[in-house]
Chain A
Amino acid sequence: MNRQPALAHRPLLQRGGEWLRANLFSSVANGVTTLLLLGLLVWLGDRLLTWAVLNAVWGNASVATCNALLGQGACWAVVADKWRQMLFGIYPQAEQWRPAAAVLIFCGMLVLTAMRRFWHLRRLLVLWLGGSLLCAWLMAGGGGLTPVPTALWGGLPITLMLAVFGTLLAFPLGVLLALGRRSSLPIIRAVSISYIELVRGVPLITVLFMASIMFALFLPEGISFDKLLRAQVAIILFNAAYIAEVVRAGLQALPRGQHEAAAALGLGYWQTQLLVILPQALRITIPAQVNSFIDNFKDTSLVIIVSIFDFLYAVRQAVISDLDWRHYFVEGYLFAMAVYWLFCYAMSHYSQWLEKHLARDHRT
């Protein structure tokens, strides 16, 4: 650390040389590693660059153009040709500005929620209620817009919906379960533990199967839910168990003194939890909550197995159902990866930034 200022005085070249020696060639083994990696990087990078950029077909090109370059260059034309179908599924073409707007609103809500200025219960409630209703209206139509039945919904809005509501609505249940797990009441504790461990012990896929195949048998005759709604409920119930564990970690991290202080003030159980414990516990777990949201966001892609038209389903449909473009599924999947990656990467960096930020707050 204290070498840094001295370094700054020296000429750039010398500084660069020193950096190289310190970071890449500090020992013989290190030097060899560096050279090997560089070789690998150049070789791979060259091939990748040639395929993905230099030889690639960009823009609205025909299948024939791509077929001529098959195996040598990427065919991004498949994305140019199909992006609408990939993003919005079979939503009526003329109305596709609506799911697009819904996606933007969802992203907007996420960004606003990420801002600490919005961390007030009432603001968040207004934001989410308002945003969700607006999205629902945009997607479903009515009141001036052409109605679009849920059977035609698909693509990115569905993925966002499953992920966002899957976390939002699971949250209260998760908090209750976490409190239940740490409760001194044996039955409540047993029930919470059983629920959490049961759900965490099985793969999401089996829960989705249950929702998609079995669930309706447990309801009275004549009552049935939309397939999408059932999957959403399954995701909520599944997430709740994971959120509960995150919250529990926060509860455990709080010093015992907090409980004792609250008790000394004569606060009851709920008052203690709502006013003293939870605000602190939830605050320290915010980065972990963001991570669990990322997991959830990725997990929603599993609904493809119970054939719900989410983003991944729409991409797969777009690249494998059109037989002309069938060879270019790699490009299609890479596009999907890029979209998922962008969301997850942004959120994980936000979570890291938040962690540092909150840690600083704690110290001061």
Chain B
Amino acid sequence: MFEQQPIRHGLAALALGITASTALAGPTLDAIKQRGTLVCGVHTGLTGFSAPDKTGKYAGIDVDYCKALAAAILGNPDKVKYVPLTAQQRFTALQSGEIDILSRNTTWNSKRDTTMGSVFPGVWFFDGQAFVINSRKNPKVKKLADLDKASVCVETGTTTERNMADYARAHKLSFKPVVFEGQEATEKAFQSGRCDAYTTDASGIAAMLVNLPSRADYTVLPEIISKEPLAPMLRRNDQEFFAIARWMIFALQQAEESGVTQANVLQMKATSKDPAVQRLTGATAEVGKGLGLDSDWAVRAIQAVGNYGESWERNIKPLGLTRGMNSLWNKGGLMYPMPLD
């Protein structure tokens, strides 16, 4: 019996030694710098947010955010490795370290912020859950209450299933959910007529409709049943990286507020007398230094993707969506960049 004792000790020591060495491994930012690439988790294909084009290059507003980060941290917006993820895979991909950052239209809520080991640096897109119907098949449906007892296609792995059930309960309606794995399968089932309605974020519906040749047949119902603040998501273990991620959002929004664009950023840096612009472009304040970067970090990001408004115009406007909540605070929206100082 006691012969096994040393074995057990050795085993424990071995295992402990291994974990001890892993505990010393650097946080995310060091890993990114060492690797020379930013690994960014994105949607497998959601037009406007992140979708591969014919050559396999990803584009969209979520992709732009990754590019801006790579430009700021690594000096090159193309040093990004995109990992396409399904709704189901996204959280563990982040938790396990497969990706550095999740930029995949993910709703910021308390559960994800507290129990899943992740943090959200800020809102990148304000959205809400909507319903779309085929108005040729169901001409009488004008509002959500008309959809009582209807079948609704939902993608698994999203907050939408729960929102829908909550809404139904609160309004004494009943929906029959038909749940699919993956957005393409869900959309296809809806288009085939398996369901009367399809529910997802309003932007997701717009992204589907823009690709449909028969989009005139479809109507988005007026009700928005939830708040969906879509935000990038990071692991909790790296304060420096978190700060960069947060201030990247603010910097790109500040750029829009101050009129700094992809085209004029260098010129603005050299000539602008606006203190906000001077701080943003690193002409005066040392925002970059505080973040552990150089002073040109925001300039590179803006050069890469433009300001927030430009990215929006390029990616989201073609979907036919209006800025609405995503306008800057001084234009009646919710985007309020904290002051760079």
A binding-site residues for B, Cβ under 8 Å: 90, 92-93, 149, 151-152, 212-217, 219-224, 227, 305-307, 316-317, 320-321, 323-324, 326
Contacts and interface: CB of A to CB of B under 8 A. Distances in A.
Given A220-B25, A224-B96, A90 B52 contact: yes
Given A90-B56, A222-B25, A216 B96 contact: yes
Contacts of B98: 216, 224, 227
A221 B236 CA distance: 13
A309 to B, nearest CB: 9
Nearest to B28: A222
A323 B18 contact: no
B126 interface: no
Contacts of A217: 92, 95-96
Interface stretch (B83-91, B163-171, B254-262, B282-290): B83-91
Contacts of A219: 96
Contacts of B18: 220
A227 B83 contact: yes
Nearest to B18: A220
A222 B52 contact: no
Contact of B55 (A92, A224, A317, A320): A92
A152 B52 CA distance: 10
A224 to B, nearest CB: 4
Chain B interface size range: 20 to 34
B250 interface: no
Given A90-B56, A317-B184, A320-B184, 11 more contacts: A92-B56, A93-B54, A213-B92, A216-B96, A221-B97, A222-B31, A222-B97, A224-B98, A306-B89, A321-B45, A321-B184
A324 B213 contact: yes
B82 to A, nearest CB: 7
A283 B182 CA distance: 44
A307 B86 contact: yes
6 contacts: A220-B19, A220-B25, A224-B97, A320-B184, A323-B212, A326-B188
Given A217-B95, A222-B31, A323 B213 contact: yes
Contact of B22 (A215, A220, A227): A220
B191 interface: yes
Contacts of B182: 307
A224 B96 CA distance: 8
Interface string B53-86: 0111000000000000000000000000111101
Contacts of B184: 316-317, 320-321
Interface of B: 18-19, 22, 25-26, 31, 44-45, 52, 54-56, 81-84, 86, 88-89, 92-93, 95-98, 181-182, 184-185, 188, 191, 211-213
A93, A152, A213: most-surrounded residue (chain B CB, <10 A): A213
A332 to B, nearest CB: 12
Contacts of B185: 320
B193 to A, nearest CB: 12
A151 B181 contact: no
A213 B22 contact: no
A323 B25 contact: no
Given A92-B56, A307-B84, A326 B191 contact: yes
Contacts of A151: 56, 81-84
A323 B185 CA distance: 13
Contacts of B95: 216-217
Nearest to B88: A213
A216 B181 contact: no
Contacts of A316: 184
B56 A152 contact: yes
A213 B89 contact: yes
Contacts of A307: 44, 84, 86, 89, 182
Contacts of B188: 320, 326
A220 B52 CA distance: 31
3 smallest beta-carbon distances between A and B, as pairs: A216-B96, A220-B22, A224-B98
A214 B18 CA distance: 20
B102 to A, nearest CB: 14
B137 to A, nearest CB: 16
A306 B96 CA distance: 17
Nearest to A217: B96
A321 B213 CA distance: 12
A326 B98 CA distance: 34
